[in-house]
């Protein structure tokens, strides 16, 4: 028997492929029985393997370069190039395909589509899609259905294994597989989000916009809590990703809306915030131009840090590190009934010295500043919730409702109940009063 000779391992160029790569894909296609098509980066077919076994050739819509089938394949091929690994997807007819990119010297030059194949079972909706996508007469439709019924059915685990084989055929023919490794590392965070999306889908529970988390973020931004605000925005973007099922444009749209709210609120406290953002970041452009989720996340964290630092500066313009740290602690824990003793223990500073320094730097006493934060929180709850007065008192950090009412009236000129009747944004008939 004649020995098999391995082709020369020359580098493909995207248009002609190399002898080694072409032979590898041909071997893959012959052994698996799966058709493989190679498209260049202009979405043009360069080479086909086992084309006669591809059901797509029954349909005129597949042959249309600008038709829905080709657009779907092109989108999937380009997405695989960003992943740096195989991408398993359903085509317009509902059949399974595997897209794998060809990357040469860090440049995306084309992509392979293996399939279509049947995964799990051939659904009746797939045959219906044949008619929806194409103008088929009865004879052509019957032939397409017969062809589909004869297609081998693969288990999902087998499809993953086939994807791995195809991927290995490609990277062994490319001299530097580090191009793929770099892309996979770049998308490790996105892959985790994809896993979260799948987990969310399995729960079958509708997810609503995370207004509570948005409020927490706003409170941390206006309170100068930099690290907490950065964690909040990271969590919010992850939730946006789940809500938008990983669609980057949808995530960016929600992020832009979020920052519009934050900047508006920040402007109410610090008039120079727009000037600072325009000079240092050009917020809208940077968010809109983010090409990946990790990039969008990094930009968002940078913007939040800048805004929050600016808010902290607007709260405190002095030079004492003790007061700066105290303000961060107070703004974070004011609803937890903190006292001067807590400041002393957490900041390791003498309580008497701190009180004197605080009054000198801030112009108000520690107690007055603390109560002002509590009153603002209580005002927000009175306007936006149906919580009882006593519950709001406790949530804002007051132990005694009578003392809360006294401090509130002194600050606002009206009682909490009167304030609610004037400023409530909720249905007054649903209000719970105690």
Residue 36 falls within a domain, yes or no? Answer: yes
Lowest-confidence region among 55-59, 245-249, 342-346, 409-413: 55-59
Residues 95 and 128 in one domain: yes
Encode pLDDT of 183-226 as tens digits.
555 555 555 555 555 565 555 555 677 888 888 888 778 766 77
Residue 196 falls within a domain, yes or no? Answer: no
Angle between helices 366-384 and 351-362 (to 10 degrees): 70
Most confident of 5-19, 59-73, 94-108, 274-288: 94-108
pTM (two decimals)? 0.43
Residue 349 CA to its chain's centroid (Å): 42
The whole domain housing 48 covers 19-186
The count of residues in the chain is: 434
Residue 13 falls within a domain, yes or no? Answer: no
The tally of CA atoms less than 13 A away on the side-chain side of residue 226 is: 13
Encode pLDDT of 306-345 as tens digits.
887 776 655 555 556 778 778 878 877 888 878 888 888 8
In degrees rounded to 5, what are phi and psi of residue 413?
85, -5
Looking at the predicted structure, is the pLDDT value of residue 255 above 50? Answer: yes
Residues 175 and 216 in one domain: no
Residues 302 and 341 in one domain: no
Per-residue confidence (pLDDT) for residue 279, from 0 to 100: 40
Q: For the chain, what is the domain count?
A: 3
**Stronger pLDDT, 291 or 264, i.e. the higher one:** 291
Sign of CA dihedral 317, 318, 321, 325: negative
**Stronger pLDDT, 39 or 247, i.e. the higher one:** 39
Residue 279 falls within a domain, yes or no? Answer: yes
Residue 4 falls within a domain, yes or no? Answer: no
CA distance 390 to 373: 17
CA distance 366 to 282: 37
Encode pLDDT of 293-307 as tens digits.
888 888 888 888 888
Beta-bridge mates of residue 154: 119
Encode pLDDT of 367-417 as tens digits.
888 888 888 888 888 888 888 999 898 888 888 888 889 999 988 889 999
Looking at the predicted structure, is the pLDDT value of residue 143 above 70? Answer: yes
Per-residue confidence (pLDDT) for residue 179, from 0 to 100: 55
Looking at the predicted structure, is the pLDDT value of residue 423 above 60? Answer: yes
Q: What is the mean pLDDT of residues 88-95?
A: 80
Beta-bridge mates of residue 38: 47, 112
Residues 419 and 396 in one domain: yes
Share of the chain above pLDDT 90, in %: 8
Per-residue confidence (pLDDT) for residue 364, from 0 to 100: 82
Residues 102 and 40 in one domain: yes
Encode pLDDT of 384-394 as tens digits.
888 899 989 88
Per-residue confidence (pLDDT) for residue 308, from 0 to 100: 78
Residues 285 and 340 in one domain: no
């Amino acid at each position: 028997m004649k020995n098999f000779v391995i082709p020369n391992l020359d580098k493909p160029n995207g248009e002609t492929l190399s002898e080694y790569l072409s032979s590898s894909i041909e071997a893959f296609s012959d052994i698996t029985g799966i058709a493989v098509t190679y498209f260049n980066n202009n979405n043009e077919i360069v080479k086909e393997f086992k084309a006669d076994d591809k059901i797509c050739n029954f349909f005129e819509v597949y042959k249309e370069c600008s038709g829905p089938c080709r657009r779907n394949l092109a989108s999937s091929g380009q997405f695989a190039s960003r992943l740096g690994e195989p991408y398993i997807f359903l085509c317009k007819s509902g059949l399974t395909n595997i897209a794998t990119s060809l990357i040469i010297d860090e440049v995306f030059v084309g992509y392979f589509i293996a399939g279509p194949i049947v995964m799990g079972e051939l659904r009746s909706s797939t045959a219906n899609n044949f008619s929806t996508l194409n103008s088929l007469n009865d004879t052509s439709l019957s032939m397409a259905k017969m062809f589909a019924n004869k297609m081998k059915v693969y288990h999902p685990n087998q499809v993953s294994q086939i994807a791995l084989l195809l991927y290995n055929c490609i990277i062994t023919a490319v001299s530097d597989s580090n191009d793929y490794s770099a892309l996979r590392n770049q998308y490790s965070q996105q892959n985790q989000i994809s896993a979260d999306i799948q987990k969310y889908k399995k729960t079958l529970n509708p997810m609503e916009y995370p207004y509570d988390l948005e409020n927490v973020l706003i409170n941390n931004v206006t309170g100068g809590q930099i690290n907490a605000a950065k964690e909040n925005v990271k969590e919010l973007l992850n939730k946006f990703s789940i809500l938008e099922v990983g669609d980057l444009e949808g995530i960016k749209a929600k992020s832009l809306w979020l920052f519009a709210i934050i900047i508006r609120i920040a402007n109410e406290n610090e008039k120079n915030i727009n000037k600072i953002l325009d000079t240092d970041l050009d917020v809208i452009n940077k968010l809109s131009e983010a090409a990946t989720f990790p990039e969008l996340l990094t930009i968002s964290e940078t913007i939040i840090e800048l805004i929050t630092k600016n808010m902290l500066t607007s709260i405190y313009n002095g030079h004492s590190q003790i007061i700066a740290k105290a303000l961060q602690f107070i703004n974070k824990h004011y609803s937890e009934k903190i006292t001067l003793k807590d400041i002393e223990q957490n900041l390791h500073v003498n309580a008497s010295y701190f009180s004197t320094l605080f009054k000198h730097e801030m112009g108000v006493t520690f107690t007055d500043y603390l109560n002002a934060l509590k009153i603002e929180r209580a005002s927000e709850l009175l306007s936006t919730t149906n919580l009882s007065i006593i519950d709001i008192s406790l949530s804002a950090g007051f132990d005694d409702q009578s003392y809360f009412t006294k401090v509130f009236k002194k600050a606002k000129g009206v009682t909490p109940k009167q304030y609610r009747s004037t400023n409530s944004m909720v249905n007054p008939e649903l209000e719970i009063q105690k």
